[in-house]
Amino acid sequence: MNKNTPIFAYIHGFNSDKSSRSYKELNFLLGNVLDFHYSYIQPAPLALKEIENKLLSALSANKNIALIGSSLGGFFALFLAHKYSLPCTAFNPVTFPHEQLAPFTGKNYNFYTNEEWDFTQELLLAYKELPLSAAMPRTPNIILGVNDTTIDPNVTLRFWKKKANIFITEEEHSIADYKKYLPVIQNSIKNQ
């Protein structure tokens, strides 16, 4: 693969990790997707820095990168897409983590390892340091499941209305099949 070949990078969500079904499926469908896994068991600015370091390393090898993120990973993907003017597709992204993740404070478990951890009020409020901007240099794609009961899709819709390409779906929070969204993801990088 040459340094101008379009590539994708995936950022997982809250309580997920590099073993996520979403990453595995996207990697299978798109081929050679970079995995920007990170530890969410740390303050938000440190989690962002961890992801950003992976992004900067990847950008040094290839400037033709499109970000994909789901849930909290969608938040980070949108944040970094704004900062580095990158194409981005976010699935059911968190928009205001310090508010939308509040119901998850307390004891949590990683979906794949069952590792237990405590999502403290301090960790929650650290997300206030990372506000999203809807004034994106490149219009992002947002896949929004109207049956999402984990993150209120109306919050996302209000914030991104007329500022993103929003694709409404009947999906819940977890995307059952990414195959039907491949054209949206692939077109994001073609429109660079």
> What would the pLDDT profile of 34-53 be if each residue is shown by its tens digit?
999 999 899 999 999 999 99
pTM of the predicted protein model: 0.95
Backbone angles phi, psi at 97, to 5 degrees: -55, -40
- Answer for the pair 100, 72: CB distance below 8 angstroms, yes or no: no
Of 94, 92, 85, 49, the C-alpha closest to 66 is: 85
Q: 15 or 158: which carries more pLDDT confidence?
A: 158
Helices (H), 67-161: 72-84, 97-100, 121-125, 153-160
Strands 116-119 and 165-169: unpaired
pLDDT band at 79 (very low <50, low <70, confident <90, very high): very high
Please tell me the distance from the alpha carbon of residue 124 to that of residue 30, in angstroms, as a whole number.
33
What was the pLDDT predicted at 191?
Answer: 56
Question: Is the separation of the CB atoms in 91 and 176 below 8 Å?
Answer: no
**CA–CA separation, 119 and 190 (whole Å):** 38
Mean per-residue pLDDT for 48-77?
97
Average pLDDT over residues 139-152: 96
Ramachandran quadrant class, 85 (left: phi over 0; alpha: psi -120 to 50; beta: rest): left
Q: Which tens digits make up the pLDDT trace of 166-184?
A: 999 999 999 989 999 999 9
Per residue in 93-114, pLDDT tens? 999 999 999 999 999 998 888 8
Checking if the pLDDT of 162 tops 90, the result is yes
The overall average pLDDT reported for the chain is 93
Strand, helix or coil for residue 168: strand
Q: Is the pLDDT of residue 192 over 60?
A: no
